[in-house]
A and B are shown apart, each in its own frame.
Chain A
Amino acid sequence: MLITRFTGDSDSQRFRLRVTIQHEDLLDGNIKMARVNNKKSDRVRKTLFFCVLSLLIVVTVPLVPYAIDAQAVAEKQIKADNVVALPNPAINLWNEVRQRNAITEGSSQVKSVDSGILINKAGEDWRRFRMEILVPYGAFSMAAVLLSLIAFFLLRGKMLLPEARSGKRILRFTLNQRTAHWFIVGLFWLLAITGLILLYGRIILIPLLGAEGFSITATACKDVHNLMGPLFLFAVLAMFLLFVKDNFFTGADLKWLAKGGGMFGGHVSAGRFNAGEKIWFWLLIIFGLSLCISGLILVFSIFGQGREVMALSHMFHGISALLLISVSFGHIYLGTVGMEGTLESMTTGYVDESWAKAHHDLWYEDMAGASETTESADKNSQAGIVASGIANTSHK
């Protein structure tokens, strides 16, 4: 048996130990490993099953009210289809005005966008979506991610490096990549905060600032948001061009995801970017572009877009924004507080060798050109203090 000091200096009060149980220990009967009916593959399967089940529950349960509602709508439709023998002569007029069967545009002396439409049914759909879905679910998703991250941090703590820093540094991000990243960070938060104030300000800020005070804030936020928005398109394109090369999915990513990135099942290999980072990259590109396109439609309202187009664009804009903000909390957590040695990759551009080996070993192999070494007694004795085993020192 080998007990090695995991982290911490020789004179630090806090450290972790790694106990390596070797084959010889099991032979002489001092340690009994009992793993009855608890094979690793079974545990993996059970974990995956419960994850999928909870995901399904979380997704379907909020949709139940809509299913009930849909049933009521279907019942109404059946009643409407039953034609009375002597119908009201105005039925057809009001059905046409209400646009129940088709979009019918009348004509008007007033020539402006949508002036020929008497009743725009997209308006109420959009109002229901914004006030009853976007506002509560957006807040819920942001709060849920934030609270889970806080809980995770309180329980798990900062994930320290498995080996001490070797002092040898590897370049991970070039100056251009870092500049583009921090540029998009500044823009993202400027747009996110102004956008969130426009969405939630009525609920949170009017009681604090009063109606006039919040009107000034909202005017400022609206103008900053609308002006800086088009810049976000260039930022997203720059991020795409600078980071896309290493962000294509490979087989290693499936393995990484199956093990939850190393959360269950021990170490898992990853290339320059692991599957989680790749997912975040593609989410940013896809939903970032969706934000830009819908934002441009919304902000350039001078091209005759009708209310239906604007309401649809706003829907895409809102969903993409709240999704990206929620997921960004995770990205920020992992990039700053979550792990030791990560933040410096984006500030200085360099990472320590031990960080690279621990988190992106395939990339480290490509960079260092060295083959991966398995943990052996020699390596451990170099890294830290080697304490004698509990069982039989003669084995050492």
Chain B
Amino acid sequence: MARMKFYCDAERCIECNACITACKNENDIPWGINRRRVVTIRDGEPGERSLSVACMHCSDAPCAAVCPVDCFYTTDDGVVLHDKDICIGCGYCFYACPFGAPQFPSSAAFSSRGKMDKCTFCAGGPEETGSGEEYTKYGSNRLAEGKLPLCAEMCSTKALLAGDANVLSDIYRKRVVNRGASVLNWGVQYKKAGIDS
């Protein structure tokens, strides 16, 4: 069975934000919810790198562990999804997530955040596949149609990869080998290929 993962190649990401735009468009995300974001470290300096991060669909998901109402579940593909009907909007998943994936529609006082929303790997939710409720609540279900998440499909430099973990790591391994070879080819010192060059 495939285990679905994301991988963002820091060397290729050019911070174009196409992944975010694609996600928001495809899943009809309301204002204020940011399922995916691009973070740039050392912005403007030599060694600047960007990474696109959303839910990483962890095998041992911290969000699922701390949820007081146990509204998370992992599909057979390894995609971590949750049930908005059960979610009480307490925010614990947001505290636990290392990547800041859970998003909430409102930030009113007295903890009235509303239902949690997050990246679904374009795999919909617990509602009936392809139904209107599923689309309004969770966004599109591309995985059921045999497609991959739109953020990775739209990535202009193929920095963001999504799909089966084995396939992804194979692609990335080839890239690393090529980079190592090209660095030596161009005569650049291997040590200076990092961010502290």
Which of A114, A120, A212: most chain B Cβ within 10 A?
A120
| B85 shortest CB reach to chain A, Å | 7
Q: Are A110 and B41 in contact (CB under 8 A)?
A: no
Secondary structure class of chain B's binding surface, majority of residues: loop
Q: How many residues of B are in contact with the other chain, CB < 8 A?
A: 50
Answer whether A110 and B69 are a contact pair too, CB < 8 Å, given A87-B191, A118-B39, A198-B90.
no
B85 adjacent to A215 (CB under 8 Å): yes
Select which of A110, A123, A215, A222 is within 8 A of B86 by beta carbon: A215
Contacts of A201 in B (CB 8 A): 68-69
- Are A127's CB and B99's CB within 8 A? no
Q: Which chain A residues border B71 with CB–CB below 8 Å?
A: 211, 215
| Pairwise interchain contact A218-B95, C-beta atoms closer than 8 A | no
Judged by a CB distance under 8 angstroms, whether B193 is at the interface is yes
Name A298's contact: one of B67, B97, B111, B193 (CB within 8 Å): B111
Bound complex: CA A298 to CA B91 (Å): 10
The CA-CA distance from A340 to B136 in the complex, in Å, is 64
> Is A104 engaged at the interface, CB distance under 8 Å to the other chain?
yes
Considering only CB atoms and an 8 Å cut-off, how many residues of chain A contact the other chain? Answer: 54
Q: Is the CB of B90 within 8 A of A222?
A: yes
Chain B residues whose C-beta falls within 8 Å of the C-beta of A92 in the assembled complex? 194-196
Task: State whether the Cβ of A58 lies closer than 8 Å to any Cβ in chain B.
Answer: no
Q: Do A127 and B191 contact each other (CB < 8 Å), given the known contacts A93-B49, A106-B40, A118-B51?
A: no
B186 within 8 A of partner (CB): no
Within 8 A of B (CB), among A89-103: 89-93, 96-97
Q: A109 is contacted by which of B38, B68, B69, B191 (Cβ under 8 Å)? A: B38
* A199 / chain B contacts, CB cutoff of 8 Å: 68
Known contacts A86-B190, A115-B34; A211 and B70 CB within 8 A of each other = yes
> Which chain A residues border B10 with CB–CB below 8 Å?
90, 93
Q: Does B142 sit at the interface, judged by CB under 8 A?
A: no
Known: A87-B191, A202-B70. A123 touches B109 (CB 8 A): no
Given contacts A93-B49, A314-B95, contact A226 B194 (CB under 8 A): no
* Stretch of A4-12, A264-272, A300-308 with 4 or more beta carbons under 8 angstroms from chain B: A300-308
On whether the beta carbons of B97 and A89 are closer than 8 Å, the reply is no
- Option from A88, A119, A127, A299 in Cβ contact (under 8 Å) with B111: A299
Interface of A (DSSP majority class): helix
Give min CB distance, A203 to chain B, whole Å: 9
When distances are taken between beta carbons in the complex, the residues of chain A under 8 Å from B20 are 109-110
Closest residue on chain A to residue B97 by CB atoms: A123
In the complex, are the beta carbons of B17 and A114 less than 8 A apart? no
B69 and A300 within 8 A (CB): no
A130 lies within 8 A of chain B by Cβ: yes
Chain A residues whose C-beta falls within 8 Å of the C-beta of B53 in the assembled complex: 118
* Chain B interface residues (CB < 8 Å from chain A): 10, 17, 20, 34, 37-43, 49, 51, 53, 62, 65-71, 83, 85-91, 94-100, 107-111, 113, 190-196
Residues of A whose CB lies within 8 Å of any CB of B are 86-93, 96-97, 104, 106-110, 112, 114-121, 123-124, 126-127, 130-131, 198-199, 201-202, 206, 211-212, 214-215, 218-219, 222, 226-227, 298-302, 307, 310-311, 314
14 additional A-B residue pairs with CB within 8 Å, beyond A120-B98, A310-B91: A86-B191, A92-B195, A104-B41, A108-B37, A109-B20, A109-B38, A127-B96, A198-B90, A202-B67, A211-B86, A215-B71, A226-B111, A227-B110, A307-B100
- Mind listing 17 A-B residue pairs with CB under 8 Å? A89-B190, A92-B196, A93-B10, A109-B38, A115-B100, A126-B95, A198-B68, A202-B67, A206-B70, A211-B71, A212-B86, A219-B88, A226-B111, A300-B110, A301-B111, A302-B109, A307-B100
